[in-house]
Structure 1
Amino acid sequence: MKQLSCEQAKQIDMVDYLSSLNHHPQKVHNQDYWYLSPLRQEQTASFKVNRRLNVWFDFGIGKGGDIIDLSTMYHNCTTSEALRKLSDFQNQPVLSFHPLTVFGGSAVSSLRFAGEKKEPTDSKIVVQATRPLSANNLIGYLEKRQIPLGIASKYCQEVDFLLYGRQHTVIGFLNNSGGYELRSDTFKGSSSPKDTTFIDNKTEQIAVFEGFFSFLSFCTINGSQAAPLTNSLILNSLSFVDKSRDLMEKHLRVHLLLDRDMPGKNYTQKALNWDRDKYIDRSEFYGAHKDLNDWLVHDRNSQQQYQRHGRKL
């Protein structure tokens, strides 16, 4: 049996290879596959494989690389030995039968010839149909997150999409370019193109949210108010903060309701540094929680009291 060259070995699909070692992703977001690190013990997945680039990075140890780097570290062996092991994997003459793997909530059979790559189109989310929200499991998911169906139905749709040859039905939130943020109790992802969502209520102020469930929570909290809400910008990704600066600065006041994790705090601080008179950090309202929806879910009593007194966030 001929041993693979380094370049040939680097063509082996890393997701397939990890599956052969009995390591399966905890979650999948577009081309990013997140694992409990195969290189150490951990409780939260912080080992990422980008399947399109076929590279990995372990955030717990700050190291990454290609499949040869992974094999040498995993087996604690030399490059030559790693190439031999990868050659053995690539040249298996039998079918590999791996357990069903949950990708973003969908069960996908890993049955295929060893080393065979999926067609790249399989890994792209393809939206097939949209309609008003009606599925019981999606309504139950909204209830779990304390979002009334009436509010969700104003801004969201029920979306059917294909991924890895299987159909899924989730809650879809449309962005300005026609793509969707897609959510259910077992799936988190988005369809292309990725973009922000701007909701224009013709006001001079704007509230900025990181994700659409924070926006829906804002609508829920202020649902009893007669006055129109501020304009709203849902970033759908913090990477759009800089791109959205011109839009934000057209407003008299910019109310920032980003997540309370480190990236959210960093971008909040960045915006405050632009102009502390215009930009206002409102995240202290839910300061003990990750985001506004987390506050809504865990502080229902506070939320009901907040509404009874007619207060507005």
Structure 2
Amino acid sequence: MNCKQFNSISLEEVLLSLGHLPTKQNEKEAWYLNPFASESQASFKLDKRINVWYLHSEGVGGNNTDFMKKYLKTSVNEVLDWAKKQNFSSFHQQIHIKKSEPNYTIEEIIDLKNPNLKNYLQERGLSAKIYDYIKEVRFTIGSKKLYAIGFENLSGGFELRNAFYKGSLLKKDVSILNLNSKVQDISNFQDKNIKAVAVFEGFLDALSFIEMQKSFTGDILVMNSIALLNKSIEHLKNYSDINLFLDNDTAGIKCKSQIIKLFPEAKDHCGIYSNHKDLNEFLIHRIKNYAVNKSRKQSEKFPQPDKLEEIKQETEIRNSNSFKMKR
């Protein structure tokens, strides 16, 4: 990553990754409390149109690189080293999505068949139970042919994962699933009778929820990026029963706080997996513990598929004291 690439990333997403949320905003600008010092009135302005910032209390401003140099108190090279280690969705979008001349070609979108992708899902604690909610996407980037698990969003774009690849194709957006239909109907994604929703940052956590639960009736909302928090909030206005399963990291905690501030009745369920970063990590941990406890001689990292049902009984979210599934 160079300075030009880093400066083209949404500063809003950079700030959110550091745990900073705006105190007020509109389509053109956002105001934040000073990220470099304590203050009671927001003086840090982000101009969304040109992706630059200005700190009125100090009379300084600039681009993303200028911000991180001041924030980390370090050199440009160290800022770029830091940026390379992050997982900015807007940077992935720049790499994998070019509006005028895309450098990718989608070859085929089919039901999941590839055994390598099925093995990857099993390693993530996921069984055939979740296959209805994903696709196998075969695509080409440059001259390289790739395949990945595809999770569709409301704009027809896909979040992509395999054991070695993480990215997205087409337009970035949130995803909403209706568990009753098992199929995402983009033209009419919300059943007017559904008032409950479970909210996740990434689709692997959402699939983990589907894997473990048996009786939840409602929608699943996947943000697909913390940069889509505001868009997610707009969708949440349609629900009266909001259940949060966000990551246990700084960005996840800040997102949760912002949602609860706007929707005080929203329920936070991260206590179920309080010792883990996210719900998928929790599921993998429980499966590994089950394998070790059941058979010390078993060499596989994960149990065989026929034992998953017993594990899921043990990991049912609906039996948690902190979250009761609707029947």
Same fold per TM (> 0.5)?
yes
- Tell whether the 8 Å contact from 1:123 to 1:164 is kept in structure 2 after alignment: no
Residue 79 (structure 1) aligns with: none
Residue 275 (structure 1) aligns with: 263
- State the 1:154 CA deviation: 0.7
* % same residue: 27
- The amino acid across from 2:244 in the alignment is L
- State the 1:182 CA deviation: 0.3
- The separation in 1 between residues aligned to 2:120 and 2:133, in whole angstroms, is 16
Report the structure, 1 or 2, having the larger helix content: 2
- Structure 1's unaligned 5+ residue stretches are 1-12, 16-27, 33-52, 75-103, 105-119
Structure 2 residue corresponding to 1:176, chosen from 131, 150, 154: 154
- State the 1:304 CA deviation: 3.9
Structure 1 residue corresponding to 2:247, chosen from 233, 255, 259: 259
Q: Output aligned runs, 1:25-44, within 5 Å.
A: none
Q: Does residue 209 of the first structure (1) align with residue 196 of the second (2)?
A: no
- Tell whether the 8 Å contact from 1:257 to 1:281 is kept in structure 2 after alignment: yes
- The separation in 1 between residues aligned to 2:138 and 2:253, in whole angstroms, is 34
- The separation in 2 between residues aligned to 1:192 and 1:308, in whole angstroms, is 33
- State the 1:127 CA deviation: 2.2
- Tell whether the 8 Å contact from 2:196 to 2:239 is kept in structure 1 after alignment: yes
Residues 235-263 of structure 1 show CA distances to partners (whole Å, capped at 9, x for unaligned) of 10111121222321221111111111110
- The separation in 2 between residues aligned to 1:56 and 1:221, in whole angstroms, is 42
- The amino acid across from 1:286 in the alignment is Y
Structure 2 residue corresponding to 1:305, chosen from 289, 305, 314: 314
Q: Does residue 145 of the first structure (1) align with residue 124 of the second (2)?
A: yes
- State the 1:123 CA deviation: 7.8
| Matched position secondary structure for 1:189 | strand
- State the 1:280 CA deviation: 1.4
- The separation in 2 between residues aligned to 1:189 and 1:125, in whole angstroms, is 12
Structure 1 residue corresponding to 2:132, chosen from 148, 151, 154: 154
Number of equivalent positions:
214
Q: Does residue 134 of the first structure (1) align with residue 119 of the second (2)?
A: no
- State the 1:303 CA deviation: 4.8
| Matched position secondary structure for 1:296 | helix
- State the 1:310 CA deviation: 6.0
- State the 1:63 CA deviation: 4.6
- The separation in 1 between residues aligned to 2:318 and 2:134, in whole angstroms, is 29
| Matched position secondary structure for 2:125 | coil
Aligned-residue CA RMSD in angstroms?
A: 3.6
The 1:307–1:198 alpha-carbon spacing in structure 2 relative to 1, beyond 3 Å, is: closer
Instruction: Tell me which of the two structures has the higher relative contact order, counting C-alpha pairs closer than 8 angstroms and 6 or more residues apart.
Output: 2
Structure 2 residue corresponding to 1:221, chosen from 171, 193, 212: 212
